[in-house]
Structure 1
Amino acid sequence: MSDPDLDFTTGESGASATYPMQCSALRKNGYVVLKGRPCKIVEMSTSKTGKHGHAKVNLTGIDIFTQKKYEDMCPSTHNMDVPDIKRLDYQLLNITEGFMCLMNDSGEIREDLRVPDNDLGKEIESKFEGGEEFVVTVMSAMGEESAVATKVQAIK
């Protein structure tokens, strides 16, 4: 009784990269999609209802990957997209030609993530060259991934 038109061989879970949230429910230090980019909300202000009846929310956010500043305005009753953000910690095993060799808690290894081209990247490289043991926190949202932090290896 199977339908030959249904094909479940793709690796997608079907979960969306974003979900809607009413603008008035957003909070500072939360996340929102501004101008198509996943951003952390750094500033929020609400204007009073005007003669057309909607309070407006002014949002300022910093792109979580590029650190660029974005601003937007939205009626408080409308929905805005919120990115589905995942943070995972990986142990850094090696750096080869600008790519990090990372291992997760279950022992799976990935070598597809570049060392960031910023101060964090310099910190990762200097800690690695100094022989320090540490984990790299990788944030992923909307199909993008980037190393966002380092921390000292927790001893288990």
Structure 2
Amino acid sequence: MSDFNDRDAEAVETHLVSASQLREGGHVLLEGHACVIMRSREASSADGGEVRTITALGLFNSQKYEVTLSLDQSVVVPVVTYTEYTLIDIADDGSVTLMAEDGQVRDDLRLPDDTSSLASFTVGVRENFEDGRPLAIGVESAMGSEQIVSMTQITAR
């Protein structure tokens, strides 16, 4: 029974498209990882068919992936969402308290750690927050994973 539910949940979080529809900046599921497409090149294959080579970066693991697909091949694309929250607090361990536009508060996310590729981003968030600047924090979500990916200063209206 749980296998069916797991497949149902995954189906809601992904959809199929033709490889010919993939574009740079778009998303694709490679080796089970939600990825952003960094480069997309079309070429003729040895048998005369058209292929597309995709170079992508994992959204949550920052690993590089490359795959060559026939243009008519179906590929899985993750549903990726982006949500902005107001930053309320940062704990010493990097846990953040965020408030959604509707007033809901969440405290289940952490800033990227200091050893990740986003270390300088984390330092910038901490410095801006400690300087008393109101900040909006962007969170990217896909396939049950979430990560803080952006920061913008909130300006008075």
Letter in 2 for 1:139: E
Say yes or no: does 1:44 pair with 2:40.
yes
Contact 2:10 2:143 in 1 (8 A): no
- Residues 19-34 of structure 1: pairs in structure 2 closer than 5 A: 19-34=15-30
Which residue, out of 99, 108, 111, partners 1:112?
108
Alpha-carbon RMSD: 1.9
- The corresponding residue for 1:152 is 153
Aligned to 2:5: none
1:98-141 CA-to-partner distances (Å, cap 9, x unmatched) read: 21000000000000001111222111111111111110000001
**Aligned residue in 2 for 1:94:** 89
**SS of equivalent to 2:122:** helix
- SS of equivalent to 2:129: helix
How does the TM-score come out when normalised to structure 1? 0.85
Of 57, 60, 64, 1:65 maps to 60
Deviations 1:17-53 (CA, angstroms, capped at 9, x unpaired): 11111001111111111221111111111121443x5
The residue that corresponds to 1:103 in the other structure is 99
Unaligned residue ranges in structure 1 (runs of 5+): 1-11
Alignment partner, residue 141 of structure 1: 142
Deviations 1:57-106 (CA, angstroms, capped at 9, x unpaired) = 11001112232211111111011111101100000000123210000000
The correspondence for 1:81, drawn from 53, 76, 80, is: 76
Unaligned runs of 5+ in 2: 1-7, 114-118
What TM-score do you get using the length of structure 2 for normalisation? 0.84
Contact in 1 for aligned 2:27/2:36 (Cα 8 Å): yes
Partners of 1:123 and 1:67 in 2: how far apart?
A: 20
Q: Distance in 1 between matches of 2:29 and 2:10?
A: 20
Could you tell me how far apart the structure 2 residues matched to 1:103 and 1:20 are?
A: 33
Aligned partner letter, 1:62: L
Greater than 4 Å deviation, 4+ residue runs: 12-15
